[in-house]
Amino acid sequence: MSRLLEGRIAIVTGAGRGIGRAHALELARHGAKVVVNDYGVTLAGETVHTNGAGDSPAHDVVREIEALGGEAVVNGADVADFDAAEAMVQQAIDTFGGLDILVNNAGFVRDRMLVNTSEEEWDAVIRVHLKGHFAPLRHAGAYWRAEAKEGRQRAARVVNTSSGAGLQGSVGQGTYSAAKAGIAGLTLVAAAEMGRYGVTVNAIAPVAKTRMTEGAFDTSAMALPEDNSPLVAWLASAEAGDVTGRVIEIDGSVITVENGWAHGPSADAGARWDATEVGPALRKLLAEAPPPEPVYGAS
């Protein structure tokens, strides 16, 4: 097998199980040295205890990578903790000599209809998904900017994790959908801001049978977590330097480039609109625009 990532250094967050674990293993198979981050929480974000030896799912993934002949190290940071995220980036630099790849994947769900969602549930989900993308990206970005200014620009790659819920919406997942939509927006801005430092920033919207989807949907025909990881490995490669600011859905064998918000039909009144004229004008524009894709789970 050709190795796309020989000698490159990666962080994968939420890599103890599911899609994150699959990403870490795939990157390692292609030659990357991997910081395997996992905070060790349940599907709902509650802390779980390690076994008596202090092992966590991340330790198991490191052992799997080492069995493949690769190099990896465990990181147990809460990725939404600003200082802990900085320390995670520094761990990659101190352990392996730098950082080339950041795969932001960590997250959990607390599904509720909007009228049943508590403030605590909203805050927890937004924190781990959205701030948990921002904090590692901010610190990795600062490192790559410093490297570029010192004449050591790296072919740096960020792969964020959005979702169809964030792009089309999903009934019963208002908080999760808002967080994942925020990640898509953050991806676009980061790509525009960080390109000057040699950094590409893209997001995937993976479809897979995981702890997060089981129980919420019929997962019998869904792809496996590892089916998403070849796309991540390629986006993380030096070869992918011309691809940035994209959101790409991966569903088993199907890759789809998502088209996000874009300007559609418009009308100019030439002056401030009269409220009574807005309705007819807007209805005409809506008739000219393509209909929105349906929200997942909508009847």
| Residue 150: half-sphere exposure toward Cβ, Cα within 13 Å | 8
* pLDDT at residue 12 is higher than 70: yes
Lowest-pLDDT range, 216-230, 259-273, 285-299? 216-230
Query: How far apart, in whole angstroms, are the C-alpha atoms of residue 177 and residue 11?
Result: 25
* pLDDT at residue 32 is higher than 50: yes
Q: How confident is the model at residue 21 (pLDDT cuts 50, 70, 90)?
A: very high
DSSP annotation of 274 reads: P
* pLDDT at residue 286 is higher than 90: yes
What digits encode the pLDDT tens for the residues 152-163? Answer: 999 999 999 999
What digits encode the pLDDT tens for the residues 72-91? Answer: 999 999 999 999 999 999 99
What digits encode the pLDDT tens for the residues 202-229? Answer: 999 999 765 454 455 555 667 898 999 9
Taking CA atoms, 15 is separated from 6, 18, 56, in Å, by 20, 7, 11
Tell me how long the chain is.
299
Query: How far apart, in whole angstroms, are the C-alpha atoms of residue 87 and residue 177?
Result: 29
What value does the mean pLDDT take over residues 28-54?
A: 71
Domains present along the chain, CATH in parentheses: 9-257 (3.40.50.720)
Contact predicate 209/224, CB 8 Å = yes
| Nearest alpha-carbon partner for 28 in 89, 59, 75, 73 | 73
Average pLDDT, rounded, for the chain: 92
Query: How far apart, in whole angstroms, are the C-alpha atoms of residue 251 and residue 223?
Result: 6
Catalytically active residues are 163, 176, 180
Give the bridge partners for 200, in sequence order: 157
